[in-house]
Amino acid sequence: MNPEALGAAFHEAYRRAPEGVWRAPGRLNLIGEHTDYNDGFVLPFALAQGVAVAAARRADSLLEIRSLQAAGTAVTVDLDVVAGDWASGEHWAAYPAGVGWVLRERGVGGASILIDADLPRGAGLSSSAALECATALALCELSGVEIPRAELAVLAQRAENEHVGVPCGIMDQSASLLCKDGHALMLDCRSGLSAQVPFDPSAAGLRLVVVDTRAEHVLSGSEYGRRRAECEEAARVLGVDALRDVKDLAGALGALGDPVLRRRVQHVVTENHRVEATVGLLRAGAVAELGAMLTASHISLRDQFQISWPEADVAVEAAMRAGARGGRMVGGGFGGSVVVLVPEARVDGVQTAVATAYADRGWADPVFISAEPAEGARRVL
Ligand code: GLA
């Protein structure tokens, strides 16, 4: 929905005009999966799809939350009273409410907000971070609270960790707030330093096709936390602050007795190198060579980190057979999307091959989205 139409819907819902509309994008992580909470590197870019929030101040401390995707539901929380029963992670309103509670400490006041999303939920494209970041920008600007974007990303992450109960890393919120049109964001998740890396697949005759595998994120919550704990345990055994610090992979593997921890370390260490190599390839203008990196990442996520799912493996394999240069699962795992790098001339063939492979297995039709690096979060009205 365009910002004016969302503004009109706000008027309808709250019987007054919004003071503005803010929009934050979902992200596609090109490479660097499960590296963020290991103090490592990630390389996401912003999608054109995202979440928009129309908002107006209230004179009190209440945050009124409505969503066009949940018509008829209105949730009101008091920013001065943190409710304890949101931690199920199930309720969409916990995301904006959590952001409100975290930002209350920075001086934001009450507001009425209306949410609209054109990003599928549960597709591994960070609809949650987009919702958090659009809400955060709206609340800050309405109250005249200025917070640098890298810091705002940390606050949005804190909202998700503390009020939704998801132990996510810093990647998704950083991507939504810091990405620039036409660029991928190389983020060092330890220092918080980032660099914009020009990325234009179409100039190289290539397309990044996102395949929403339509598989639900079953297990994603508990398994995500388990992977994170395994990585922390491996770092403890190896005597380093985080797996980012492992320099000698062979030595580390030799020092770990537990075969599961060895696999996790193998993934994280090699994935960090793949991010750096990918940045090198992009800077050299060798975009087609990314394919091999994507596929290597997928194999590592499937076999070492063990978080892939059948629909993702089949999508990558079918796409490769039909001429994709490479591809991988994206996001936390166990459901969501796959990204494949495809020569323009092969896009139809690849999509048909993936759809046919799904139909042959009796799976739901995959949904294809073409992904180009878009602009990060901003005010749109
Ligand atoms: C989810 C989390 C991120 C990151 C990815 C895996 O998207 O929110 O912080 O850990 O999984 O790379």
Hey, what CATH topology would domain 3-197 get? Ribosomal Protein S5; domain 2 (3.30.230)
Residues in the chain: 381
Percentages of the chain per state (helix, strand, coil), in multiples of 5: 45, 20, 35
Q: Name which residue sits closest to atom 1 of ligand 1, judged by CA.
A: 332
Residues forming beta bridges with residue 235, ordered by sequence position: none
- Closest ligand 1 atom number to CA of residue 170: 9
- Closest ligand 1 atom number to CA of residue 160: 8
Please report the pLDDT score of residue 219 as a whole number. 54
Give me ligand 1 centre to Cα 150, in Å: 17
CB count, 10 Å around CB of 44?
Answer: 27
Q: Name which residue sits closest to atom 11 of ligand 1, judged by CA.
A: 332
Residues with CB under 6 A from ligand 1: 33-34, 36-37, 168-169, 171-172, 331-332
Instruction: Please indicate whether residue 248 is annotated as part of the active site.
Output: no
Q: Which residues of the chain have pLDDT under 50?
A: none
Rg of the chain's alpha carbons, rounded to an integer? 21
Please compute, for residue 130, the number of CA atoms within 13 A of its CA located in the half-sphere on the CB side. 30
Give me ligand 1 centre to Cα 203, in Å: 29
What does the angle CA 174 – CA 82 – CA 220 come to, to the nearest 5 degrees? 50
Q: Do 23 and 54 touch, CB atoms closer than 8 A?
A: no
> Tokens at residue 196, please?
């914009």
Catalytic one of 36, 39, 116, 172? 172
Give me ligand 1 centre to Cα 57, in Å: 32
- Closest ligand 1 atom number to CA of residue 228: 10
Residue 159 to residue 308: CA distance in whole angstroms: 27
Phi, psi at 46, each rounded to 5°:
-80, 140
Residue 242 to residue 122: CA distance in whole angstroms: 28
Ligand 1 site-directed mutation target among 133, 161, 168, 267, most atoms within 8 Å of CB: 168
If you average pLDDT over every residue of the chain, what do you get?
96
Ligand 1 site-directed mutation target among 29, 126, 171, 227, most atoms within 8 Å of CB: 171
Give me ligand 1 centre to Cα 325, in Å: 24
Alpha helices in 43-88 (DSSP H): none
- Closest ligand 1 atom number to CA of residue 124: 7
The ranges assigned to domains in the chain are 3-197, 200-371
Class of domain 200-371: alpha beta
Q: Do 377 and 23 touch, CB atoms closer than 8 A?
A: yes
Give me ligand 1 centre to Cα 334, in Å: 12
- Closest ligand 1 atom number to CA of residue 224: 11
Give me ligand 1 centre to Cα 273, in Å: 18
Ligand 1 site-directed mutation target among 36, 132, 232, 272, most atoms within 8 Å of CB: 36
Q: What is the pLDDT of residues 155-169, one digit of tens each?
A: 999 999 999 888 999
